[in-house]
Amino acid sequence: MKKSASAFDALRSARLSLLAVVSLLGWAVGVQGGGIIGINYGTMANNLPPPSQVAKFLLQKTYIKHVKLFDADPNILRAFADTGISFTVTIANDRIPALANHSNAQQWITSNILPYIPTTNITRILVGNEVIATADKSLIAGLVPAMQSLYAALVIASLSHQIQVSTPHSLGILSSSDPPSTGKFRRGYDTVVLKPLLGFLKATGSPFMINSYPFFGYTSSTLDYALFRPNAGVFDENTKLTYTNMLDGQLDAVYTAMKLLNYSDVEIVIAETGWPSHGDPGQIGVDPESAAAYNKNLIQHVTSGVGTPLMPNRTFETYIFALFNEDLKPGPTCERNFGLFQPDMTPVYDAGILQPTSGAPTPRNSTSVGPSNPDPLEEKTWCVPTSEANMEVLQANIDFVCGQGLDCGPIQAGGSCFFPDSVRAHAAYAMNAYYQAAGRNSYNCDFRKTGKITTIDPSMLGYSSIYMPINRDFL
């Protein structure tokens, strides 16, 4: 019998209250079965504390015992020696082709892993980040061979049982994700790249890693759904299952895609997820309260053992993005405000990861920004670079957009929008692609004051025709 909405909400509230208690106990005694909460430690800032201070802070003041780096910074690895904190290190995308060579892979392990173990607890190596989203054929073709070579090098060093090898993906690897039961990988990548990659992960006992951000997929009408707050839910007609939060929908879409390739038994790890505490004027739900709600509810959910509608009774190893606000990150204001902590290690808000006896400073007061509703432009508009924008900043804009999972293939060599071959023209494509997909709000074209909105078709301004159909599957 179908329950009434009020009865459903009452049952759900009671269930969430119980899960909150269970999750808090899990923090204290160590969640079993893989219910791990880690943190992404990014360093794109000029005001961060020394790694030694960060190590002491995490060890003594927080519950965090798992850290993911976007590189293999020797200073950080040395600073965390003898802490027992588990480390995931990352190899830059541009190193991938060379590491397909076995001798180069062995040399990388010798130079970047062996000097720091066992005193530093390195447990996973990530080969690149969102490699498929780059649409770079040489990187994509070299991805699985590089992973295989690095694993072989770990075997030689007798470390293959201690250190896993994987690579994180954006949701842009999916051609369909809504409803979750229709999830499937993009054609051309599914059988050629992802199937052998999943085969490698299964054979080596390593997880499939996904960067899953409800933040990039919500609207004003789905904010509660994205923040794990009470909502009407989303019903999947195919499975007859109801989704009460967006993250579950994203994870089940990935699971469905993996199942189509017969690899539903490979573990899924959330490599990145988070919510910014500050954004550009007019952004709804971008404030400390929303960020705290997302991350607190996230922690409760992924460690509770409830799982998702298609993956029930399980926990998810999850890495929150990010440890600090990073003032040098390109893109909109929100990109520099995903941190749980300010560079002086004061909390931006209470995310629930500080130990009760830590005596940590209280969160800084901060007000939410902008009006309660965004003001999307209704007429046909485009986002293009300003005439004053320099090439270095425009290249950073390209890198940011392509890293979000949008298809940048058209501006790669041989792509339909490769010409004119200039940073400005390619930035016009990338910035407009982001602007169109994100909702065509004025703040979606800010790009640190290097973008402007125009009502003139960019092809009339000397750019390639860049007004493309909007594809939100990456969200």
Q: Which of 305, 336, 367 is the last residue of a domain?
A: 336
Please report whether residue 252 resides in a domain: yes
Task: Please enumerate in sequence order all residues whose Cβ is within 8 A of that of 298, keeping only pairs 6 or more positions apart, or say none.
Answer: 228, 247, 273, 318, 320
In this structure, the answer to whether residues 214 and 309 fall within a common structural domain is yes
pLDDT confidence of residue 21 = 39
Please report whether residue 438 resides in a domain: yes
Task: Please enumerate in sequence order all residues whose Cβ is within 8 A of that of 357, keeping only pairs 6 or more positions apart, or say none.
Answer: none
Residue 214 and residue 247 in contact, taking contact as beta carbons nearer than 8 Å: yes
Could you give the CA distance from residue 62 to residue 54 in angstroms, rounded to a whole number? Answer: 11
Is the bond preceding 79 in cis, omega lying within 30 degrees of 0?
no
In this structure, the answer to whether residues 314 and 396 fall within a common structural domain is no
Q: Which domain holds residue 451?
A: 382-461
Could you give the CA distance from residue 428 to residue 417 in angstroms, rounded to a whole number? Answer: 10
In this structure, the answer to whether residues 281 and 392 fall within a common structural domain is no
Could you give the CA distance from residue 152 to residue 202 in angstroms, rounded to a whole number? Answer: 15
**Through-space distance between the first and last CA atoms of the chain, rounded to whole angstroms:** 34
State the DSSP code for 190. I
pLDDT confidence of residue 30 = 36
Six token digits for residue 179: 């409803």
In this structure, the answer to whether residues 301 and 388 fall within a common structural domain is no
Could you give the CA distance from residue 55 to residue 357 in angstroms, rounded to a whole number? Answer: 17
Q: Name the helix (H) or strand (E) containing 208.
A: strand 208-211
Q: Tell me, what CATH number does 54's domain have?
A: 3.20.20.80
State the Cα torsion 332-93-66-225 to the nearest 10°.
40
In this structure, the answer to whether residues 431 and 323 fall within a common structural domain is no
For the chain, how many structural domains are there in total? Answer: 2
CB neighbours (10 Å) of residue 83?
18
In this structure, the answer to whether residues 261 and 404 fall within a common structural domain is no
Residue 288 and residue 21 in contact, taking contact as beta carbons nearer than 8 Å: no
Please report whether residue 111 resides in a domain: no
In this structure, the answer to whether residues 255 and 403 fall within a common structural domain is no
- Judged by phi (left if over 0) then psi (alpha if -120 to 50, else beta), residue 240 lies in left
Please report whether residue 223 resides in a domain: yes
Q: Which of 279, 311, 336 is the last residue of a domain?
A: 336
In this structure, the answer to whether residues 322 and 407 fall within a common structural domain is no
Q: Which of 277, 309, 336 is the last residue of a domain?
A: 336
Could you give the CA distance from residue 421 to residue 170 in angstroms, rounded to a whole number? Answer: 26
Burial class (CB in 10 A: 0-12, 13-18, 19+), 82: exposed
In this structure, the answer to whether residues 296 and 442 fall within a common structural domain is no
Query: Which residues carry out catalysis?
Result: 130, 272
What is the full per-residue pLDDT of the chain (475 aa) written as tens digits? Answer: 333 333 334 334 444 444 443 344 444 333 333 479 999 999 999 999 999 999 999 999 999 999 999 999 999 999 999 999 999 999 999 999 999 999 999 999 999 999 999 999 999 999 999 999 999 999 999 999 999 999 999 999 999 999 999 999 999 999 999 999 999 999 999 999 999 999 999 999 999 999 999 999 999 999 999 999 999 999 999 999 999 999 999 999 999 999 999 999 999 999 999 999 999 999 999 999 999 999 999 999 999 999 999 999 999 999 999 999 999 999 999 999 999 999 999 999 999 999 986 444 556 544 332 333 344 445 789 999 998 999 999 998 888 888 767 788 899 888 888 888 899 999 999 999 888 887 787 878 888 889 999 988 777 666 654 444 333 333 3
Residue 383 and residue 451 in contact, taking contact as beta carbons nearer than 8 Å: yes
Residue 67 and residue 54 in contact, taking contact as beta carbons nearer than 8 Å: no
**59-71 CB burial, b ≥16 within 10 A, e <16:** eebbbbbbbbbbe
Please report whether residue 450 resides in a domain: yes
Please report whether residue 404 resides in a domain: yes
Residue 147 and residue 163 in contact, taking contact as beta carbons nearer than 8 Å: no
In this structure, the answer to whether residues 286 and 415 fall within a common structural domain is no
Could you give the CA distance from residue 267 to residue 31 in angstroms, rounded to a whole number? Answer: 17
Give phi and psi for 120, each to the nearest 5. -100, 130
pLDDT confidence of residue 457 = 78
Residue ranges of the alpha helices (H) in 403-444?
423-438
In this structure, the answer to whether residues 301 and 391 fall within a common structural domain is no
Task: Please enumerate in sequence order all residues whose Cβ is within 8 A of that of 194, keeping only pairs 6 or more positions apart, or say none.
Answer: 132, 173, 185, 261
Please report whether residue 432 resides in a domain: yes
Please report whether residue 69 resides in a domain: no
Give phi and psi for 281, each to the nearest 5. -55, 135
Could you give the CA distance from residue 81 to residue 119 in angstroms, rounded to a whole number? Answer: 5
In this structure, the answer to whether residues 213 and 311 fall within a common structural domain is yes
